[in-house]
Structure 1
Amino acid sequence: MTVEVQLKKGDFGDSVSEVVVVEWLKQVGDAIAVDADLVELESDKATTKWPAPKAGVVTKLLFNAGDTIPLPAVIALIDETATAPTAPAAAAPAPAAAAATAKVSPSAEPRVMPSAAAMMSENGVKPSQVTPTGPGGRILKEDVQKQVSAAAAQPAPAPAPKPPVETVRTIVTGERSEKRQMMSPIRKRIASRLVEAQSTAALLTTFNEVDMTAIMDLRKQHQDAFTQRYGIKLGFMSFFVKAAIDALQTFPAINAEIQGTEIVYHNYFDIGIAIGGGKGLVVPVLRNAERMGFAQIEQAIAEFANKVKSNTLSPQELTGGTFTITNGGVYGSLLSTPIVNPPQSGVLGMHSIQDRPVARDGQVVIRPMMYLALTYDHRIVDGREAVTFLKRIKDCLENPVRLLLDV
Structure 2
Amino acid sequence: MTTEVRVPTLGESVTEATVATWFKKPGDTVAQDEMLCELETDKVTVEVPAPAAGVLADIVASEGETVGVAALLANISAAGAAAAPKAAAPAPAAEAEAAPAASGGGSTDVMVPTLGESVTEATVSVWFKKVGDTVAQDEMLCELETDKVSVEVPAPAAGVLSEIIAGEGATVEANAKLGVIAGSAAAAAPTAAPAAQAAPAAAGKDIANAPSAEKAMAEAGLSAANVAGTGRDGRIMKDDVARAVAAAASAPAPAAPAAAPTPRAPVAADDAAREERVKMTRLRQTIAKRLKESQNTAAMLTTYNEVDMTEVMALRSQYKDQFEKKHGVRLGFMSFFTKACCHALKEVPEVNAEIDGTDVVYKNFVHMGVAAGTPTGLVVPVIRDADSMSFAEIEKAISAKGKLARDGKLSMADMQGGTFTLSNGGVYGSLMSSPILNPPQSGILGMHKIQDRPMAINGKVEIRPMMYLALSYDHRIVDGKGAVTFLVRVKEALEDPRRLLMDL
TM range (shorter): 0.7 to 0.9
Aligned to 1:298: 395
CA shift at 1:185, angstroms? 2.0
Distance 1:279 1:365, change over 3 A: same
Residue deviations 1:200-254, cap 9 Å, x none?
2211111011111211111221112221222211111111111111000000111
* Letter aligned with residue 338 of structure 2: V
Match of 1:396 in 2: 493
1:229-286 per-residue CA deviation (whole Å, 9 max, x = no partner) reads: 2221111111111111100000011111111222111111111111112221111111
2:35 and 2:50 in contact (8 A); partners too: no
How far did residue 349 of structure 1 move?
0.3
Give the deviation of 1:67 after TM superposition. 2.4
The structure-2 alpha-carbon separation of the partners of 1:330 and 1:65, relative to structure 1 and needing over 3 Å to count, comes to farther
Partner of 1:179: 276
Asked whether the 8 Å contact 2:363–2:419 carries over to 1, the reply is yes
Aligned equivalents of 2:445, 2:55: Cα separation in 1: 47
The residue aligned with 2:73 is 75
CA distance in 2, matches of 1:153, 1:351: 61
Deviations 1:26-78 (A, max 9, x none): 566375673x655443212x222425255756725443333222222233455
Say yes or no: does 1:43 pair with 2:41. Answer: yes
Question: Quick one: structure 1 residues 33 and 223, their matched pair in 2 at CA, closer, same or farther if it must change by over 3 Å?
Answer: farther
Counterpart amino acid of residue 83 in structure 2:
A
Match of 1:91 in 2: none
Q: Deviations over 1:307-342 (max 9, x none)?
A: 222222111222221111111111111100011112
After the TM superposition, which of the residue ranges 149-158 and 328-337 deviates more from structure 2?
149-158
Q: How far, CA to CA, are the matches of 1:58 and 1:318 in structure 2?
A: 36
Match of 1:250 in 2: 347
CA contact (8 A) 1:30 1:57 kept: yes
CA–CA distance in structure 2, aligned partners of residues 268 and 295 of structure 1: 19
Aligned 8 A contact 1:22 1:40 in 2 = yes
Q: 2:271 is aligned with what amino acid?
A: R
Q: Match for residue 124 of structure 1? A: none
Indicate how the Cα distance of structure 1 residues 388 and 179 shifts in structure 2: closer, same or farther if over 3 A, else same: same
Larger Rg: 1
Given candidates 41, 48, 52, the residue that maps to 2:49 is 52
* Cross-structure match for 1:337: 434
- Residue type of the alignment partner of 1:151: A
Q: Which amino acid aligns with 2:419?
A: T
Task: Kindly report which structure 2 residues correspond to 1:351-362, keeping only aligned pairs within 5 A, or say none.
Answer: 351-362=448-459
Change (3 A) 1:150 1:396: closer
Question: Can you give the 5+ residue segments of structure 1 that lack an aligned partner in the other structure?
Answer: 83-147
Cα 1:363–1:304 change in 2 (3 A) is same
Q: TM-score, normalised by structure 1?
A: 0.73
- 2:287 corresponds to: 190
Looking at structure 1, the residues matched to 21 and 81 of structure 2 have their Cα atoms a distance apart, in angstroms, of: 34
Aligned 8 A contact 1:324 1:348 in 2: yes
Q: Is the 8 A contact 1:38 1:49 kept in 2?
A: no
Counterpart of 1:233 in 2: which secondary structure?
coil
Within 2, Cα distance between the matches of 1:155 and 1:304?
A: 47
Deviations 1:331-368 (CA, angstroms, capped at 9, x unpaired): 11110001111211111000111122212222222221
Take 1:150 and 1:381, find their aligned partners in 2: how far apart are those partners?
A: 62
Aligned pair count? 333
With the length of structure 2 as denominator, give the TM-score of the two structures. 0.60
Correspondence for 1:376: 473
1:12 maps to which residue? 10
The answer as to whether partners of 2:36 and 2:50 remain within 8 angstroms in 1 is no
| 1:383 positional shift | 0.9
SS of the residue 2:500 aligns to: helix
d(CA) in 2 for partners of 1:299, 1:226? 12
Post-superposition offset of 1:304: 1.5
Q: Which is bigger in relative contact order (C-alpha 8 A, separation at least 6)?
A: 1
Return 5+ residue gaps in structure 2 as ranges.
Answer: 95-137, 139-150, 153-206, 215-267
Q: Is the 8 A contact 1:58 1:76 kept in 2?
A: no
For the structure 1 residues 181 and 365, does the alpha-carbon distance in structure 2 shift closer, same or farther, using more than 3 Å as the test? same
**What does 1:267-306 align with in structure 2 at a 5 Å threshold?**
267-306=364-403
